[in-house]
Amino acid sequence: MNEIFEEVRTALYSVWHRRWLALAVAWGVCLLGWLVVALIPNTYESKARIYVDTDDVLSDQLGIAGNSRDEIAEVGQTLLGSGNLEKVITSTELGDGISERSQMDAAIARLSENVRVESERDNLFTITAEVGMSGLSDAQNAVLARNVVQKLLDIFREDHISGSRAEVSSAIADLNDQLEERKLELEAAEERRVAFETQYPELIGGSQALSTKVQQSRTELRDIDADLAAAQSALAAISSQLSTTPRTIVGGANAVGPQASLLQAQSQLAELRARGLTDQHPDVVSTTRQVEILTRQVAAAGPGEVTGTPNPAYSSLLAVRADRQAGVEAFQARRAAIQSTLASLMASQASEPAVAAEANRISRDYDVLRTNYERLLEDREKLRTRGDVVDETSQYKFDLVDPPIVPQSPAAPNRPLLLIGVLFAGLAAGAGVAYGLSQLRSSFATPAKLERSMGLPVIGSVSLKVSETAKALRRKRLKQFAGATAGLFAVLVILLAIEIVSVGTIA
């Protein structure tokens, strides 16, 4: 710590010992720096804020609004393109004296560095321009900055108000060309599909449709099997009932003999069974015994003397059995047809995989082309409707929140700060030159430094004895040095005052 303190003391002594040299260097650096700062041209900044209302109720109701925010953001990004900046240059004083393309390119590059378009929110934009031409006065530069911002505002409006109709017309023309191409492709695909389906009707719709048909045939076959089983069961039931029903019944109330009694007993037995009574039921058992006895009597007596009349129940059961028999045959025929169709579909699916793949490709290409054609057609109608809306009313509404104005004070450079910085730079340069010169001399400011440098102990040091005349001269020179230093600060104060006064009288 002591060594650091000693080094600081040594440096301060070295600078103070050569203070006149340090002050001279400081004066030279400050005068040169202040001259450079005075030659820096003033730069004036003008800005404007614009609000873009993209909410179009009519377009929203028609479903043709589009992505307005993205379109406006794109305009904000492309506003600083070389074409737009060239329009700004040619319409303002920035283009004075430009006759060659290289000069225009250089002017565009300079202007692109001094113009900014910033989006504060989705719909609020700030356009800022900084102008500082050396050949113009401060008032002219201030007016030029305002004019640049105004021209950018005009271009911003033109790009999305005047240019929207041309964009819609161009987009519709492009869509018409695309629709014509898609129409030809769609017609060719439709011809290929029709020719293929004519040759392979079972593959209409591709292999997926074929698999669907196979699945549908299997499902229909299962349903037919279930219906056929139910119809056969009903036919068996009616046949069983018919077998137990007598063909004739007793002819009259006065009919007698074994044959008439047998017919009556058989009719009763059929009636009992029709009621659902089992063979173990007492009535069924007794009636059955009666039928057996009468049957033996009729067989022993020979042909009966009394004949019966046709049984209506038997005739009705015959009609029902015939109807159910027809239903069973219809189900069987339908089942056979479905089995034949299913076998054909399975054969087509298994034996012609290449044909099935071709069917898939043709069907897929046709569906894709038709979907694209319909989408393009819908987009064209939307654009056409949107163009009609744009013709009737503007899609966007622009509100100038802060119009561009002529700036009253320069935005750059910050001369007061630069003037003060030059002063500190001059003082630092003077002190640095004085200290650097002391390092080149083989002298030692303190005994301790001599001892560290030589590596030998220092026995003592001799103080300088100054006479009264020398002291008076030293005090006089010290006052002169203080006056010269104060003069340096006084010049700074004068320059700051001039800068403040000149800024207040620019406009």
Boundaries of every domain in the chain = 2-40+413-504, 208-351
With vertex at residue 136, the alpha carbon angle to CA 134 and CA 139, rounded to the nearest 5 degrees, is 125
Q: Is 291 helix (H, G, I), strand (E, B) or coil?
A: helix
- CA–CA separation, 419 vs 426, rounded Å? 11
Low-confidence ranges of the chain (pLDDT < 70): 1-3, 6-7, 53-77, 121-122, 159-169, 196-197, 199-211, 247-261, 297-298, 300-311, 314-315, 345-360, 383-398, 441-453, 460, 462-464, 466, 503-507
Query: Residues 313, 245: contact at Cβ < 8 Å?
Result: yes
State both tokens at 420: 């003060």
Give whole-number Cα distances, 62 to 57, 385, 498, in Å. Answer: 9, 8, 65
Q: Which amino acid is at 2?
A: N
- Alpha-carbon gap, residue 470 to 462, rounded angstroms: 18
Q: What pLDDT, on a 0 to 100 scale, did the predictor assign at position 313?
A: 73
Answer whether 0.75 is exceeded by the pTM: no
Cα separation values, 292 from 256, 266, 295, 304, 306, Å: 18, 10, 5, 16, 19
DSSP 402: E
User: Residue 27: what pLDDT?
Assistant: 94
Q: Is 276 left (phi over 0), alpha (psi -120 to 50) or beta?
A: left
List C-alpha distances in Å: 313 to 53, 265, 326, 389.
91, 15, 20, 83
- Structure tokens belonging to residue 131: 């102008």
